[in-house]
Amino acid sequence: MKKLLVSPAPHIHSANTTSRMMLDVVIALIPAMIVSVLAYGLPALTVLLVSVVSCVLFEYLIQRFILKTKVTINDWSAAVTGVLLALNLPACSPWWMILIGAIVAIGITKMTFGGLGQNIFNPALVARVLLLISFPAIMTNYTGPDAVPLTSMFASLAHVDATSGATALSAVTEGLSQGQTIQQIFPEGHNYLSMLFFGIGGSAGEMSALALLIGFVYLLVRKVIRPHIPIAVIASMFVVSGIFWLIDPSQYTDPLFNILTGGALLGAIYMATDYVTSPMEPKGMVIFGIGIGVLTMFIRYFGAYPEGMSFAILLMNAVVPLINKFVKAKRFSKEAK
């Protein structure tokens, strides 16, 4: 009689795999990648390639030669980190800076904690923050979107000095510190529509809100992420920003501006929803999202940095184990009277 296979139930498995989910995230980011290449041209493409290749390479080297464990680059998680890192950096980043970012993201933030699933902080964000603090000049120098003629007309629509290297947010910080009011910094107001489609200067991934939203819809349809975190982040940013803007519009930027600029959408949709560093249950996810939104707005309004999303996410990452411990989902037995 032939040998049968014996194992405990269940005997079938859904088609979910880690690598498929990670691949879906990369696919969702394709619109944003396309936009950044269109805006900044070859430099953006170079940043993307160097980032992805170096992240994957470092993970392979560390797993193969230092840790001597199974190499798991085929789960696409290093590639996701690479893409997210690239979209967080300015298009003119030098290759050595990207390498440092990759080493920090993969080597320090991910591998030293135990590899996939064990890190407390979001790898791409830790790398970005480290680079921001170490190389502030390079990190805040955003060559405006006039590299390709197609884009310069959008830039002028957004009323930002496309070649100065400033983002809208840094323009705000600088202007406010010089005693200007919001109206003086942006005399013609904002063209939100253009910001939605093809916004003002920023890091490669901050450009087009629409591209990011397309990716968001894709992820929801593929059931890769749930909408709780992005909606909680954006909603709380909107509310906090709205309160302050209503109090004093000359000192505080309006909610729509805040949502569409900086890494708000990129952070809310792709960075905050990283499985490993976010809570596992819906109620916890909402608390996490609200925390991020509130912190981001506080840093933007009252902190020294123009952009607060990265720091907010990292701060909330540290609180996630606590959230997981105390905020539990609906349990059947607790529902019984």
Q: Which residues bind another protein (CB under 8 A)?
A: 1-14, 16-18, 20-21, 72, 75, 77, 115-118, 275-276, 279-281, 328-337
Identify the helix (H) or strand (E) that includes residue 26: helix 18-28
Closest CA to 75 of 60, 87, 62: 60
Q: How far is the CB of 266 from another protein (least distance, A)?
A: 21
Radius of gyration of the chain (CA): 21
Q: How far is the CB of 235 from another protein (least distance, A)?
A: 21
Question: How does DSSP classify residue 119?
Answer: -
Whichever of 21 and 211 has its CB closer to another protein, that residue is 21
Side-chain-facing half-sphere of 199: CA atoms under 13 Å: 34
Residue type, 184: Q
Q: How far is the CB of 40 from another protein (least distance, A)?
A: 32
Whichever of 170 and 277 has its CB closer to another protein, that residue is 277
Whichever of 74 and 181 has its CB closer to another protein, that residue is 74
244 token code pair? 């302050």
Q: How far is the CB of 285 from another protein (least distance, A)?
A: 9
Residue bearing tokens 């619109």: 31
- How many whole angstroms separate alpha carbon 228 and alpha carbon 230? 6
Whichever of 126 and 200 has its CB closer to another protein, that residue is 126
The alpha carbon of 39 is separated from its chain's Cα centroid by a whole number of angstroms, namely 19
Q: How far is the CB of 5 from another protein (least distance, A)?
A: 4
Whichever of 267 and 284 has its CB closer to another protein, that residue is 284
Q: At a CB cut-off of 8 Å and minimum separation 6, what does 41 contact? A: 91, 147, 148
